[in-house]
Amino acid sequence: MTTTAAALRWCATCGSDVTFEQPECLDEHEGECPEWLCQRCGEAFLVGFSLPQLGSVGRPALGVA
């Protein structure tokens, strides 16, 4: 695996600060690849995306009983 970046980050699985590496991006993301992997346990996480704003998802409103 080719690594393009490394950073010290909190790993929830390891329960400590460990080195996370950003592998070479094979998914052709626009800009920086959002995938990071813990070098101790292999846990992965994504960064750089935003969650939908509250109310932006088309769901029926709940009535008050």
pLDDT at 6: 86
pLDDT bucket at 4, cuts 50 / 70 / 90: confident
Cα distances from 18 to residues 14, 42, 45, 61, in angstroms, run 8, 11, 13, 43
pLDDT at 52: 61
In 3-state terms, what secondary structure has residue 48?
A: coil
Provide the residue ranges of all domains of the chain, joining segments of one domain with +: 3-46
Q: Does residue 65 surpass a pLDDT of 60?
A: no
Is 0.85 topped by the overall pTM?
Answer: no
- Taken as a whole, the chain contains a residue count of 65
Cβ proximity of 55 and 40 under 8 Å: no
- What digits encode the pLDDT tens for the residues 5-62? 888 988 999 999 999 998 887 877 676 778 889 999 999 888 765 556 665 555 555 6
Strand partners, 12: none
pLDDT at 54: 62
